Amino acid sequence: MAAEAKRLAANAAGDFFVDSTCIDCSTCRWVAPANFDETEGASRVYRQPATEAERHQARMAVIACPVGAIGTTTKHDLHAAEAAFPDQIAENVFHCGYHARSSYGAASYLIVRPEGNVLIDSPRFARPLIRRIEALGGVRTMFLTHCDDIADHQKFRDHFGLTRILHTADARGLAVEMPITGREPIRLAEDIALIPVPGHTRGSACLLYRDKFLFTGDHLSWRPGKERLGASRDVCWYDWDEQTASMAALADYRFEWILPGHGHRHRLAADAMAAEMKSLVQRMKRAA
């Protein structure tokens, strides 16, 4: 739980605050952007919530925060914020919330579909979330985009009996039920393609759903300040040239949404997204 004694001085005066245990994962900044922003190496409350809708979003940030770094000076009922996750993004695609410290606060997502629900990366194994996922039909498959965002995967496996998918190049001794190999895309189902994108890690992979929603792990995210797609060389753990080549191959696909592990999700019309991808590949090549 956040501690008032550790309250960051950069917070706006008032009820909600971020304390010094913040790991700067950015989650609160996109869950409740009206109230949280970035300060030096952390988040802060730059403006106190002024409406009940803003207070609800701020409470959702409390629930999503992986380290419990968001607090309030008054007591709040968090049940509605707990019940708000998984939070619908569009159609049958949800943000799970309940980010895990062991994934450095990475986002995870749920696709609800008649053929079996799919989790993309692992949220915290939290009882309120599990009950909500059960109400949405449970989970049949957990797709792990890479080795860093696997969090509580074993608890989800034990609880739901789901099938975990992970590229063997990122297995690090983890024996999953469905290992994938190589660089060629894999058609998991009529509506789901798995696309290896080595670069950030050797075994990174994306999941493309309905040729519309691209779950990108740490391969690709939206940069809200620059209003463009981005990939980070600073956190490229394997090979930047490989990541650039993977991005160029990914640019051949059509999609509208990018849903990353870290950073902001974003939607563009498919043609605009394709143009953004081409532009990003050129920037990556120049940065080689």
Q: Which residues bind ligand SF4 (CB under 6 A)?
A: 18, 22-28, 43, 65-67, 69-70, 105
Shortest spacing between CB 96 and ligand SF4, in angstroms: 14
CB-wise, 26 or 243, nearer to ligand SF4?
A: 26
| Distance of alpha carbon 52 from alpha carbon 22, whole angstroms | 25
Rounded least distance, CB 66 to ligand SF4, Å: 6
> In terms of DSSP bridges, do strands 36-39 and 42-45 run parallel, antiparallel, or are they unpaired?
antiparallel
The CB density around residue 208, as the number of other CB atoms within 10 Å, is 21
Minimum distance, C-beta of residue 62 to ligand SF4, in the bound complex (Å): 9
Give the nearest distance from C-beta 12 to ligand SF4 in angstroms. 14
Nearer to ligand SF4, 70 or 119 (CB): 70
Find the shortest distance in angstroms from Cβ 68 to ligand SF4: 8
Among 122, 121, 159, 153, CA closest to 138? 159
Nearer to ligand SF4, 43 or 103 (CB): 43
Question: Counting beta carbons within 10 angstroms of the beta carbon of residue 163, is it exposed (0 to 12), middle (13 to 18) or buried (19 or more)?
Answer: middle
**Closest distance of CB 64 from ligand SF4, Å:** 6
Cα three-residue angle 116-214-134, rounded to 5 degrees = 30
Complex with ligand SF4: residue 129 or 205, whichever CB lies closer: 129
- Evaluate whether 58 touches 49 at the Cβ level (below 8 Å): yes
Looking at the Cβ atoms of 18 and 194, the one nearer to ligand SF4 is 18
Plot region of 197 (φ>0 → left; ψ -120 to 50 → alpha; else → beta): beta
User: What Å distances lie between residue 202 and 132, 146, 221, 222, CA to CA?
Assistant: 34, 9, 18, 22
Residue closer to ligand SF4 by CB (options 19, 152) is 19
